[in-house]
Structure 1
């Protein structure tokens, strides 16, 4: 009985070898260059801004709370900020850092942050903030403050 079992087991070895070769060839053929795996790392985003006052007096500072909302998560995404003031005069800064210069690009270390705008004029003021990511996606936020006497 053992002799019959050994012959049966020896007869299965070529079948196992053929199955292994067939499996390997199917796997290699299915991984051709035309079917490359695409990894998405470019995710659009939205920007949420908490309400700000409508009026600002000369010398007054307004807090602007901003939250970047990703539609996907790619850990190497970097965010940047630039701004341009086209009416009135004021100073925009990130927390207590040096004031931003108009049209210069600044990296944002976090996706939730606060900007502080200090009015330096007695007229209405308007400026835009652009937030962009390292893939070229960009959102514009417009701010307008009336003069408060």
Structure 2
């Protein structure tokens, strides 16, 4: 009985070797560098702003509610804000922080926040707010206020 079993095993040896070669080649092909797993961390985003008044008086403060809505979620994404005022005069700040300086870049701590614009002139005012992420994506929002004095 053992002799028959050994003879049968010897006939299967080439099949085992062929299976081992096929398994190794499939493994090597499936692990090639060209098929590396890509992890997406750069997601586009949109800016949503609640309605703001059309008119602002000298010395008056307007609240601007902003939400960053991103298409995907990568936990290490950072968002930044900068602004530029091109008509009138005023200050823009985040909550109780000191007023922002035009064209300086400020990191935003959250994706939902409030900005406060305080008019310091009696003429119409316009400014742009630019929000960017750590991957170079950027969105612009323009605000225009008429003088109510």
TM over 0.5: yes
Measure the CA separation in 1 of the matches of 2:8 and 2:72: 53
Which consecutive unaligned segments of at least 5 residues does structure 2 have?
none
Q: Is 1:96 aligned to 2:96, yes or no? A: yes
Q: Secondary structure at the residue paired with 2:29?
A: helix
Give unmatched runs, 5+ long, in structure 1.
none
Query: CA separation in 1, counterparts of 2:102 and 2:7?
Result: 83
Q: Quick one: distance in 2 between partners of 1:60 and 1:113?
A: 20
Rounded to whole Å, the distance in 1 between the matches of 2:45 and 2:61 is: 28
Q: CA offset at residue 10 of structure 1?
A: 6.2
CA positional deviation for 1:139: 0.3
In structure 2, distance between residues paired with 1:109 and 1:8: 75
Matched with 1:129 is 129
Instruction: Indicate the residue corresponding to 1:112 in structure 2.
Output: 112
Q: Alpha-carbon deviation of 1:42? A: 1.0
The superposition leaves residues 75-117 of structure 1 with CA deviations (integer Å, 9 ceiling, x where unpaired) of 1111000000011110100010011000000001110000000
Separation (CA, whole Å) in 1 of partners of 2:7 and 2:51: 80
Report the equivalent of 1:32: 32
Instruction: Please list, as runs of the form range in 1=range in 2, the aligned pairs for 1:1-149 lying within 5 A after superposition.
Output: 19-149=19-149
TM value normalised by structure 1: 0.87
Distance of 1:30 and 1:140 partners within structure 2 = 44
Secondary structure of 1:73's match? coil
Distance in 2 (CA, whole Å) between partners of 1:9 and 1:134 is 66
Once residues 148 and 41 of structure 2 are traced to their aligned partners in structure 1, the CA distance between those partners, rounded to angstroms, is 45
Give distance in 1, aligned partners of 2:54 and 2:85.
Answer: 16
Q: Deviations over 1:127-148 (max 9, x none)?
A: 0000000111100000000001
